[in-house]
Amino acid sequence: MTITYVVENGLYINMTNRCTNRCDFCIRKNGDGAYGSDSLWLEREPSKEEVWEAIVAAEPTSYCEIVFCGYGEPTCRLDDMLWVCGQIRATYPALKIRLNTNGHASLIYGEDVASRFAGCFDTVSISLNAPSAEEYDAICHSKYGLAAFDGMFSFAKAVKPYVPCVMFSVVRQFLSQTALEECRRLCDTVGVTLKIREYIS
């Protein structure tokens, strides 16, 4: 069972295969792993203690940052992820921690959970994916339907006071030039940096 894997200088954490989206560009559609990792399909979700043990065993200080990402949406295990963050902060205070998320945490829990992120992350990278609810739904096929986009965008605004760096990301190959420009404008309205990434096939 692969709980940690390495991407460039980051130690990535794979806690769950659950997700609230079914994105057209999801790496899970193209194989079993990512960036040369072993299979990221989990035979079961590791306990938070097992995740922590796997991080310690991977010698995390050898990496530039810890990244909660994996083959699923990490905030589906919000309590456990924040507990692991607390362990990292207490044991390796100099380590940077990033979350890659679809931004649905508050939708998942039915309340604004943004304040719970305080002190846990240096960076939260949120998949914007599209400039409108309709375009988002066409690519991401969320279980929340058209509400997914607003939920994601509201979370981004709500979490900003609690995290030093919040950024949005889009996948270049899944947007028209017009849509890309609209995404840029949207980011400007909330003062969030836009990261344009390439499709991983």
Q: If we measure between CA atoms, which residue out of 10, 131, 117, 33 comes closest to residue 74?
A: 117
143 binds ligand SF4 (CB under 6 A): no
Work out which of 23, 97, 120, 159 binds ligand SF4, going by CB under 6 A. Answer: 23
Nearer to ligand SF4, 49 or 78 (CB): 78
d(CA 90, CA 149) in angstroms, rounded, equals 34
As to burial, measured by CB atoms within 10 angstroms (0-12 exposed, 13-18 middle, 19+ buried), residue 195 is middle
Q: Interface residues for ligand SF4 in 27-86 (CB under 6 A)?
A: 28, 72-73
CB-CB contact of 72 with 19 (8 Å):
yes
Nearer to ligand SF4, 24 or 92 (CB): 24
Q: How many residues bind ligand SF4 (CB under 6 A)?
A: 10
Q: How far is the CB of 61 from ligand SF4 (least distance, A)?
A: 28
Nearer to ligand SF4, 92 or 144 (CB): 144
CA 114 to chain centre: 14
d(CA 15, CA 49) in angstroms, rounded, equals 11
| Residues contributing to the site for ligand SF4 (CB under 6 A) | 19, 21-23, 26, 28, 72-73, 102, 127
